[in-house]
Structure 1
Amino acid sequence: MLPGIPVSDVDLYTDSARVDPYLIYDELRALGPVVYLSRYDMYALPRYDEVRAALMDWQTFSSAQGVFVDRDVNARLEGITLCSDPPEHTAMRAVLGRPLRADRMREVAPRIETEADRVVERVVSRGRCDVVTELAEYLPMTVVSDLVGLPEQGREKMLEWAAAIWNTQGPADERAAAAGPAVEEFMSFAMNDAVPGKIDPAGWAAQLYEAADRGEIPPDKCPMMMLDYVTPSLDTTILAIANTVALFARNPDQWDLLRDDRSLIPHAINESLRLEPPVAQFSRLLTEDHEIGGVELPAGSRVALLYGSANRDDRHYPEPTRFDITRRPSDHLAFGRGEHVCVGMHLARLEIVSLLERLADRVARFEIFESRPVINNGLRGFDYLDVAFEPADA
C-alpha cells in the first residue's frame, strides 16, 4: 500500500455484496480514482475514465498473468485466451472470433429468430414463467450448444460447469473451493470428450482443431479455448436477458417506449448492460510503474477494473441509477474494451434482440412475483425470476 492512496477493507464477496454491490461501489468512487483493497492486496479502479483507459492499454495493464483475484487460479489459467496478451492473444482470438463476427451472424440469425418465436410463443401463451430457466436459458442452451457442436453427453452439466468456473474469479473462499470438483469435471470433458471424433465436425469447436492443424494455434490450446465458447455464451447471456426483463418490469414506461419505437432495442440492451452488467470486474497486472490519479503504482501491482462501478459513475453518466433506454450508452464497459472486448458480444446481442422484438409484439406488461439472486464470485443477476405477462391484445 502506497502513501496518498485511500484504503478500504470492504469485502466484495459477501453474499450481500454479490447481490447488491452498488453502495460499496459508491463508497469506492467517493474515495478516489484508485483505492487500495486491503483484504485482497490489490488496487481497484472504481471510476469510468480510469477503467476505460486501463482497458485500452493492454501493454501496461496486462492479462497475461491472469485476470482474477486469487494468485493460484491466475497461475493455472495463464495462457488461455482471457489470460493472454498479443501476439498470442491475437492469434487465439482470430480463430475463436471467426464464427462470431458480426457478418457471420447473418448465417445464424434465421435459426435464432425461429427458436425465439417458439420460446416466446410458449411462455407468453402460458401467461407466466420463470424467465431464467424457461426463457433466458433457451437460446444459449439449444441453439448455441448446437452451433459450438458439443457432444450430447455433458450438455446437461454446462450451466453447472460454467457457474463453477465463474466462482473461481474471486478469492480462495468457500464458493471457490466448492466449485473445484465441477471445474475439474469440465476440464476432463474438454480434454477427453469435446475432441475431434466426438464433436460435430461442422461446429465451432471443430474449427479450433482445424486451425491447430493449419498451424494457426498450438494444438494444446484447443481444450482450454473451449472455455471461451462455454462460459461467455451461457451464463452471461442468460443473466443479461433476465436482467433486461426485470428492468422493464420495474420500469413499464420504458417498455412502452420500446414497444412504440423498436429502433430503441439496441439502446435498451446497452442501457441494461450498463446498469446491471452480468460480470462486474476483472483484474490486470501492471507491467511497469504507472501513474493513476496522481499516484504512481509500482510494476507488479494487481489492479481490479470495476466495470459495475464505472458504469454507474455520475462523472460520466447523468443520473446513473436511472434506467433510460433513450440514453444510448454505447460506451458502457460491460463487454470490456480494447484487445479483450467480449468476443461473443454480437451473438449475445442477436439473441437478446430476437427475444425483445417478439416480446414487444406480444406483451404489454411484465409483473414480477418472486425472484432469487445468483450468489457467485464472478456473476450477478437472477437465479430465479417468476414473471407474469400481460398480453398485448388484452
Structure 2
Amino acid sequence: TILWDVPLLDGYDHEFVPNRAPNAHVKGFFGLVNPGLAPRLLAFRPDAIVVHGYAQATQHIAMLTGRLAGVPVLMRGESHLHAPRSAWKLAAKRLGAAYLRQVLAGAVAIGTLSRDYWLHYGLPPERVFLAPYAVDNDFFQSRAAAAREEAARWREELDVPADARVLGFAAKLSAVKGCGDLIEAFARARVPGSALVIVGDGPLRAELEAQARRFPDACIRFKGFVNQSQMPTAYAISDVFALPSRFEPWGLAINEAMNLARPVIVSDVVGCAPDLVRPDNGWVFPVGDVDALTAVVRDALSDGERLARMGRASRARIDGWGLPETAEGFVSAARAVAARRAGLGALLGGRGRS
C-alpha cells in the first residue's frame, strides 16, 4: 500500500459514502457499490453532476440519479481511440455509447484525443467540453530551485557525473510503461557523457535491472520509489524526460516534467502528445519502435544548449495548461448544460400552458 506524503483532500468539501460491495476494490464493476450516493445527491440538489468514467456501479448510480431527478450529468474520462481493444470490447463500446448518449448531458474532454473519442462515439460537438488534464503547476514550479539542489545530491548518490546529460524516466515499472524499450534505446544510442536515471518501482524492476546489466558501458541508474514530495527532484535530475509507454491515457508525468522546464519524449499513443508536445519542446516517436526511439534519444542528448531552449518552451506551454484552466472548463460545461436544461424546461412549460 502506498501512502502519499502530500494532503489530497485539504481545501475540498467532501464526504465519504459507504461502499457496500461485498468485495470492495476498484478493478471490477461491482467493486464500488455506493447506494447511499443517490439520497445524498438528491439532498444536495446540484446544478450538474460530474462522473469520472463508467466502469463501476457507483458511477451508474450517480448517472441514473441525475437522470431521474432532471439534473444534467457530465462525464469525464481518460479514454481515447488509440487504446488496444478486442472486437468484442469495441462492440460493447458501441452499445455503451448509445446508452451514454441518452443519459449524459455532455462530456468533459481532457484533451484533443479525448474529444475525438467522444465525437467518434456520437456526441455532438456542442455537448463536448474541454477541461484540460492538469497538475498543480504551482506545486512543481515553486519547488524547482530546491529540486535542482536535491538533484545534485541524487547524482552523487547514484554516481552520475555532475556534467552528464541525463535522460530521465519516472513511472511504475510495468510492461505498459515501456521502460525496457528506453533502456534498449539508450544503450544503443551510445551518446558520450550521458546517463539514464530510472525513478520508480514495480513488478518488472528486477527484470529491468538485469536488462541494464547487459550494457555495462552504459550509465544506467535505478533510484527506486519516491513519494509525491520528491517528484520535482525526479524531473529536475533529468535534462530530457521520456515516457515511452505502450499505452497511456494521458501521461501526467509529462505535465510535471514540463513544469520543471524539461523537454520531453513520448510515444504516439501517450494521450497528451497532441496537446503538449511540439517540435520546439519535444519528440514523438511511433510506439514500440525501438529504432526510432534510439534515434530520438541520440538526437536529444547531442545538444545541451538545445535541450535548455526546449525546456523553456515546455515551461511556457504548460503555464497555459493548469488547474485554473481545468476549473474554468468544468464551470463552463456545468453552466452550459444547466442553461440548456433550464431552456428546455421553459420550452416544455410554455407548451403545457398553451
TM bracket, shorter-chain basis: under 0.3
Query: Structure 2 length normalisation: TM-score?
Result: 0.24
Query: Structure 1 length normalisation: TM-score?
Result: 0.22
Q: Which has the larger radius of gyration?
A: 2
Q: Which has the higher contact order (CA 8 A, sep 6+)?
A: 1
